[in-house]
Amino acid sequence: MAEEKLLSRNDVPAALKWDLKLLYQSDEEMKADFDATKKVVDQFTKLQGKLAVDAKNLLVALILGKQIDEELEKEFVYAFLRRDSDTTDATATELYGMISSQLSTISAQMAFMEPEVVDIDDGVIDQFLTVEPKLAEFKFMLTKIRNEKAHVLSKLEEQLLSRASKSLNAPDEIYNTLNDADLTFGMIHDEDGNEVQLTHGNRSQFTESQNREVRKEAVLAYEKPYHDLRNTFAQTLNSYMGMHNMQADVRHYASAREASLSGNQIDEQVYDTLISSVNSHLDLAHRWYALKKKVLGVDKFYKYDINVPIAGNDLLKTTFEDGKKLTREALSVLGPKYMEGLNQEFDNRWIDAAENKGKRSGGYQISVYQANPFILLNWTDKLYSTYVLAHESGHAMHSYFSQRAQPSEYFEAPIFLAEVASTFNENILTDYLLEKYQDDRQIKIFILEQYINGFIGTIYRQSQFAEFEHNAYQTQAKVGTLTADYLDNMSSDLVDKYYGPSVTPTGTKTQSWAYVPHFYMNYYVYQYATSMAASTALSAQVWNHEDGALERYYDFLSAGGSDYPIETLKRAGVDATDSQYLERAFKVFEQRLDEIEALLA
C-alpha cells in the first residue's frame, strides 16, 4: 500500500476507505439533519433563566442537551471525516467549515446552562434529585459541573467565549492545514537509487533503511520544510498556547495546566511525578542507544541512525489484511465479546487505511454514539502499522463497550483512560508475537526492538514532549511570545537530555517540536506516558490469565466517562497517584532490554 506516488482519493479502493454512509448517504442528508438539530436548539434556549424553577425544567434541559449533543456529534464527525479524507477537497473543506462555524453559534446559544446549574443551591439540587427520579442519570454530570463553580463565568461571558471559539481555535486549524495539505518534503532516493516522493505516510520506510545514505537523506528532507517555516510554526504554537493561557486566567485558574487537568480532578502532582520518574530512569533509554550504536558498529551514532532495525528491514512485512489477521489472533486472549466488536470494526469498513493525496497524516479513532467508531490510518506494510491498528482498535473497542453500557453523556472516556485501552493492545500484541516467534532469534530481536521503540516513543518521548509543552506554556504566560529560536533551543536541550551521550545531533532543531500535532490538544501528551505505564500492569494480568483480570478490564472498558478517571483506574487495579505503577513499567522495560542484550551477545 506504500506507493511511490500518492493516489488521489478517488483511486483508493473502497475496501480501504471508511464507509461514511454508516453516518449519512450524502452531504445533503447531513445538512437536513443539521437543520433539524438547530430547531431542537431553539427549544432548548426557551428554557434559559428557568432551570432553577423546578426539577422538571432541569430534567427537560438535560434531556434536550443530551439529544442535541448526540445529533451534533454525528453531524460534525461526518463533516470532519469528509475533510480529513482529503484536505484538498474544496467541497469537504467547505462543509467542515460550515458546521464548525455554526457549532460556535450553537455553543453560544447553549452557554447559559452551566452558569444556571452552578447557581442553584445545593439543597435545591438535592430536592430536585429526590422529587424527580429521572435526574439520577445526570447526577455525576451535575456534580462535575458544580465542582467547577469557581471557574464558570456569567452567562454573558460564557456566551462571548463560545461565540469566539472558532476564532480562538484558528491556530489549531491553521497548523493542521499547513501540516497536512500544504507541507511538501520533496523527492528523495530509495535503496535502488530511484527518485520517490517523501510523505508523512511513507517516511518510515526510508528512515529505517539499512542504507545509511537513504535514511540520512530522508531524515534531513523531512526536517527541511519545518525549518523553512519555523517562524510560522512558532507563531501558530504561540497563538494556541496564548489562547489557553488567556482562558485559564479568565476562568480563575492558576495556569493552563491546572485548567486542563482540573475538570477530571487529576492532581498536577500526577504530571510532575511522571516527569520526575522518567528523568530518574533516563539511563535505561541511554543504555538502549549505546547498545544500538555498538551493534551497528559506527563511530558516531546520529539521529538518522536511531530508527534502523538491528535485525534488518521488514522481517514481518504486513499488508493491511495481514495486520488485521495478526491483531485478531493477538487480541483473542480477550475472549469472544471483544472479538465480536473487533470483527464488526474490521468487516464493516470502520477503517480508512490507505494514504492518499491530501489525507490527514498519522492515525486516530473517533466515535459516534448513534453509529460506531471510525479509524484513520496511513498504512505502510510495516509491522509498525499493525501496532497502530492494534492501538487505534483499542480506542475503538473502548468506545464500543462504553457505548453499550453508558448513556451518551458518559460514553466517551476521558483521554487519561482512553490511552490505556490503546496501549494495552500494543502490549498484548508484543506478548503474542514474542510467543509466536519464540524460536526465531532474528524475529525475536525485531519484535523486542519494536517494543523498545514503542516504550521509548510512548513513555520517554511523550514525557519529553510534556516537559517541552509545560515549559512553553509557562514561558508564553510569563513573556507573552514564543519565538522560533527559543523553541528550537529548548527542544534541542531536551532532545540531548532524553537521547543521551551516545546520540550525535544532526540536521535542524525545529522539526523536533514543530511536527507534533498533539501540542495543539492542550496537555494531551503526558497521558500517553501515564497510560502506557498503567496498561503495562493491566495487560500483563490479562495475558497471564490472573483471576478476575479480564472481568476487571471489561468493567474498565464499559465505564467510559461515568466516574473520575483516577477512580476508574483504581477499580481496574492501578493507582496513578502513586509512582509505583511507573516503577513497575520501567522494570518490565529493563527486562526487555536484558532479553535483547542477551540475544545480541
Whether 51 contacts 61, CB under 8 Å: yes
Residue 7's Cα: distance from chain center in Å? 26
Going 541 to 543 to 546 to 552, the CA torsion angle's sign is: positive
Strands 373-376 and 351-352: parallel
pLDDT band at 3 (very low <50, low <70, confident <90, very high): very low
CA distances from 524 to 269, 280, 356, 417 (A): 16, 22, 27, 12
| Residue 224: other Cβ atoms inside 10 A | 18
The CATH number of residue 163's host domain is 1.20.140.70
pLDDT value of position 312: 79
pLDDT value of position 329: 98
pLDDT at 223 over 80: yes
Whether 304 contacts 216, CB under 8 Å: yes
**Which residue, among 68, 66, 83, has the nearest Cα to 27 in the 3D structure?**
83
In terms of Cβ atoms closer than 10 Å to its own Cβ (0-12, 13-18, 19+), residue 591 is exposed
Which three three-digit cell numbers place residue 477?
504566560
Q: CA–CA separation, 261 vs 258, rounded Å?
A: 5
- Average pLDDT for 302-327: 91
- Average pLDDT for 580-597: 96
pLDDT value of position 1: 40
pLDDT value of position 5: 72
pLDDT value of position 158: 86
Please report, rounded to a whole number, the percentage of residues in the chain having pLDDT higher than 90: 88
Q: How many domains does the chain have?
A: 1
- Note the pLDDT tens digit of each residue in 549-575: 999 999 999 999 999 999 999 999 999
| Residue 453: other Cβ atoms inside 10 A | 18
Determine whether 467 is an active site residue. no
Strands 301-302 and 503-504: parallel
Whether 16 contacts 1, CB under 8 Å: yes
pLDDT at 225 over 80: yes
Kindly report each contact of residues 81-84 with a partner whose C-beta sits within 8 Å and lies 24 or more positions away, as own/partner: 81/18, 81/20, 81/23, 81/352, 81/366, 81/374, 81/376, 82/20, 82/27, 84/359, 84/360, 84/376
Assess if residue 132 is contained within a domain.
yes
**Which residue, among 300, 271, 265, has the nearest Cα to 503 in the 3D structure?**
300
Question: Which residue has 510532575 as its cell numbers?
Answer: 272
- Note the pLDDT tens digit of each residue in 507-523: 899 999 999 999 999 99
**Which residue, among 162, 157, 173, 160, has the nearest Cα to 239 in the 3D structure?**
173
Assess if residue 82 is contained within a domain.
yes
Whether 264 contacts 565, CB under 8 Å: yes
CA distances from 352 to 341, 362, 582, 587 (A): 17, 12, 34, 36
Assess if residue 538 is contained within a domain.
no
572 Cβ neighbours under 8 A, 6+ residues apart: 538, 552, 553, 555, 556
Query: pTM here?
Result: 0.86
| Residue 601: other Cβ atoms inside 10 A | 5
- Note the pLDDT tens digit of each residue in 338-359: 999 999 999 999 999 999 999 9
N- to C-terminal Cα distance for the chain?
Answer: 36
pLDDT band at 4 (very low <50, low <70, confident <90, very high): low
pLDDT value of position 162: 85
Whether 12 contacts 364, CB under 8 Å: no
Which three three-digit cell numbers place residue 232?
510560522
- Give 210's DSSP letter: S
Assess if residue 495 is contained within a domain.
no
Residue 56's Cα: distance from chain center in Å? 38
Across the chain, what does the average pLDDT equal? 94
Strands 301-302 and 195-197: unpaired
Range of the domain at 159: 10-168
pLDDT band at 2 (very low <50, low <70, confident <90, very high): very low
Going 106 to 109 to 112 to 113, the CA torsion angle's sign is: negative
**Which residue, among 290, 295, 588, 308, has the nearest Cα to 459 in the 3D structure?**
588
pLDDT value of position 362: 86
Secondary structure of residue 440 in the 3-state scheme: coil
- Note the pLDDT tens digit of each residue in 364-416: 999 999 999 999 999 989 898 999 999 999 999 999 999 999 999 999 999 89
Buried/exposed code over 401-423 (b: 16+ C-beta within 10 A; e: otherwise): bbbebbeebbbbbbbbbbbbbbb
Assess if residue 301 is contained within a domain.
no
Could you please report the per-residue DSSP string of 296-338? HT-SSEEGGGTTS-TT-TTTT---HHHHHHHHHHHHGGG-HHH
Whether 428 contacts 333, CB under 8 Å: yes
Which three three-digit cell numbers place residue 126?
438535592
Q: Which of 73, 223, 392, 412 is catalytic?
A: 392
254: left (phi over 0), alpha (psi -120 to 50) or beta: alpha
Secondary structure of residue 141 in the 3-state scheme: helix
Assess if residue 249 is contained within a domain.
no
Assess if residue 276 is contained within a domain.
no
What element of type H or E holds 504? strand 503-504
pLDDT band at 217 (very low <50, low <70, confident <90, very high): very high
- Indicate the length of the chain as a whole number: 601
Which three three-digit cell numbers place residue 18?
471508511
Whether 310 contacts 449, CB under 8 Å: yes
Assess if residue 145 is contained within a domain.
yes
Whether 270 contacts 569, CB under 8 Å: no
pLDDT at 311 over 90: no
pLDDT at 500 over 60: yes
pLDDT at 212 over 90: yes
- Give 364's DSSP letter: E
CA dihedral 66, 68, 69, 73 (to 10 degrees): 140
**Which residue, among 420, 338, 363, has the nearest Cα to 585 in the 3D structure?**
420
| Residue 14: other Cβ atoms inside 10 A | 8
